[in-house]
Amino acid sequence: MVSEQTIHGTILYGPELELIEGYMVIRDGIITEVAGERTDSKNIIAPCFVNAHTHIGDSVIKDPVLGKCVDHYVERDLGSLVQPPHGLKHRVLEATPRDELMEGMRRSVTDMIQTGTCAFADFREGGIEGILALKEALQGFEIECRILGRPKRINAGYDELCSEVERILMDADGLGMSGANDMDMHILGTIGDIAKSKQKILAIHAGEDCRGDIEKALSLDPDILIHLTKADRNDLKKVADVGIPAVVCPRSNFITGAGMAPVRDMLNSGIDVAVGTDNVMLNSVNMFSEMEFLSKIFGLEDRQVFIMCTLMGAAILGLDKTGAIIERNRAKVMILNGNSCNLAGIKNPINSIVRRGRPDDILSVII
Ligand SMILES: [Zn+2]
């Protein structure tokens, strides 16, 4: 049976988010028509978020100790929190029963959908077992997920490591590596080459708390760089010259003490920039919060911020037919209540959603 749905309101249409007052028709999950028409509806129909970098595996840790408190200030220690193999995250993941990890992941996926996210890219630790657990956790959800795994047995022999990577890539969309300073570069190059030979994604953290691993990461010719918080203009020029997109995680960088990423310089260098919420142990998966940070603390233009958090994420992750509200694309939209107490009286939906939008303004999410 064909399902058809018509939604009225103000539509953020196409790649430029043109504002159209009218209606859109969704037929069997595909946008078949968008048309202008006078309407009394206060609905705002916007593309869903694409959360371009997460680690939902650590959803069981919500409030870790961030570091030592000195004179009311917490001295953050990123390494002790997340660095493999002995960071807090890895110790807790090892010690937590599988069913608790699964439930934590399912809760985070539900939270993502409820807060307007239609797709995400997850760096999945734990080798093949970690990937299979995430796939199982995703069962029954419509959300799209790019699973980027990583080998567990990095100190095993060459043949064993290669066969683990090949096995991972049978089930994952690519590799999500910790960082070029965390592993022998020869090994990293080898497993990166395996991903490339199979046309899979190679993504890696780089420049998160020092810029010393950016050059090394670039030498791997990755598809996506995560963070670049400490990148200087020369680094950004090199990244732009080779056309590698970046995913920034503003709230994560602040809570770990990494600081403020040069997002404005990235954009001015011509780098495609998407946004992620990073570890669930550090942040909620709520993309509205990232937008508010990017608008108010980074001072970026609101339309640009919204594109980074939605359409650019879809483009960087190669999510075909996901992203812009346009005929023949999949309908992945959130319908916001333009008459909520928070949004009533707004003049420009894009500025308003970016600066003050909240999950409780969402009436429904169609994915
Ligand atoms: Zn990360």
pLDDT (0 to 100) of residue 1: 79
Measure 186 CA to ligand 1 centroid, in angstroms. 22
DSSP string, 144-165: EEEEEE--S-TTS-HHHHHHHH
Q: 294: part of which helix (H) or strand (E)? A: helix 287-296
Measure 110 CA to ligand 1 centroid, in angstroms. 20
pLDDT (0 to 100) of residue 226: 98
Measure 303 CA to ligand 1 centroid, in angstroms. 25
Q: Are residues 144 and 80 in the same domain?
A: yes
pLDDT (0 to 100) of residue 87: 85
Measure 66 CA to ligand 1 centroid, in angstroms. 16
Q: Are residues 256 and 335 in the same domain?
A: no
Measure 324 CA to ligand 1 centroid, in angstroms. 26
Measure 30 CA to ligand 1 centroid, in angstroms. 32
Total structural domains within the chain: 2
Which pair of tokens denotes residue 298? 């980074």
Pairing type for strands 201-206 and 224-227 reads: parallel
Q: Are residues 183 and 99 in the same domain?
A: yes
Q: Are residues 311 and 255 in the same domain?
A: yes
Beta strands in the chain (DSSP E): 4-13, 18-27, 30-36, 43-47, 49-55, 67-70, 73-76, 117-124, 144-149, 174-177, 201-206, 224-227, 246-248, 273-275, 278-279, 333-337, 362-366
Measure 206 CA to ligand 1 centroid, in angstroms. 10
Distance CA 286, CA 306 (A): 14
Dihedral sign (CA 23, 29, 31, 33): negative
Sheet holding 174-177, edge to edge: 273-275, 246-248, 224-227, 201-206, 174-177, 144-149, 117-124, 49-55, 278-279
Q: Are residues 190 and 227 in the same domain?
A: yes
pTM beyond 0.95, yes or no:
yes
Measure 2 CA to ligand 1 centroid, in angstroms. 41
Provide the CATH number for the domain around residue 307: 3.20.20.140
Q: Which of 299, 316, 333 is the last residue of a domain?
A: 316
Structural domain of 332: 4-48+323-366
Q: Are residues 102 and 234 in the same domain?
A: yes
Q: Are residues 209 and 270 in the same domain?
A: yes
* Cα-based angle 108, 99, 226 (whole degrees, multiple of 5): 40
Non-local CB neighbours of 253 within 8 Å, separated by 6+ positions: 208, 227, 229, 259, 260, 261
Measure 112 CA to ligand 1 centroid, in angstroms. 17
Measure 78 CA to ligand 1 centroid, in angstroms. 11
Q: Are residues 23 and 80 in the same domain?
A: no
Distance CA 314, CA 308 (A): 9
Q: Are residues 307 and 350 in the same domain?
A: no
Measure 249 CA to ligand 1 centroid, in angstroms. 8
Q: Are residues 42 and 56 in the same domain?
A: no
Q: Which residue has the tokens 């994560």?
A: 252
Check if the beta carbon of residue 338 is closer than 8 Å to that of residue 349.
yes
Specify burial of residue 170 (Cβ count, 10 A radius: 0-12, 13-18, 19+).
exposed
Provide the CATH number for the domain around residue 24: 2.30.40.10
Q: What is the dihedral of CA 112, 115, 121, 125, to 10 degrees?
A: -40
Q: Are residues 234 and 120 in the same domain?
A: yes
Distance CA 334, CA 261 (A): 28
Measure 137 CA to ligand 1 centroid, in angstroms. 20
Q: What is the dihedral of CA 220, 226, 227, 233, to 10 degrees?
A: 40
Measure 80 CA to ligand 1 centroid, in angstroms. 14
**3-state percent breakdown (helix, strand, coil) of the chain, nearest 5:** 40, 25, 35
Can you give the pLDDT of all 367 residues of the chain as single tens digits? 789 999 999 999 999 999 999 999 999 999 999 999 999 999 999 999 999 999 999 999 998 888 888 998 988 887 788 887 788 888 888 899 999 999 999 999 999 999 999 999 999 999 999 999 999 999 999 999 999 999 988 777 888 999 999 999 999 999 999 999 988 999 999 999 999 999 999 999 999 999 999 999 999 999 999 999 999 999 999 999 999 999 999 999 999 999 999 999 999 999 999 999 999 999 999 999 999 999 999 999 999 999 999 999 999 999 988 999 999 999 999 999 999 999 999 999 999 999 999 999 999 999 9
Query: Pick from 142, 108, 103: which is nearest to 122 by CA?
Result: 108
Specify burial of residue 32 (Cβ count, 10 A radius: 0-12, 13-18, 19+).
middle
Measure 255 CA to ligand 1 centroid, in angstroms. 13
Measure 11 CA to ligand 1 centroid, in angstroms. 33
Check if the beta carbon of residue 42 is closer than 8 Å to that of residue 9.
yes
Measure 162 CA to ligand 1 centroid, in angstroms. 23
Measure 210 CA to ligand 1 centroid, in angstroms. 15
Measure 357 CA to ligand 1 centroid, in angstroms. 25
Which pair of tokens denotes residue 260? 């403020």
Measure 123 CA to ligand 1 centroid, in angstroms. 7
pLDDT (0 to 100) of residue 53: 98
Measure 205 CA to ligand 1 centroid, in angstroms. 6
Pairing type for strands 67-70 and 73-76 reads: antiparallel
Measure 37 CA to ligand 1 centroid, in angstroms. 44
Measure 98 CA to ligand 1 centroid, in angstroms. 21
Q: Are residues 55 and 138 in the same domain?
A: yes
Measure 79 CA to ligand 1 centroid, in angstroms. 12
Measure 42 CA to ligand 1 centroid, in angstroms. 37
pLDDT (0 to 100) of residue 90: 85
Distance CA 200, CA 149 (A): 11
Measure 253 CA to ligand 1 centroid, in angstroms. 10
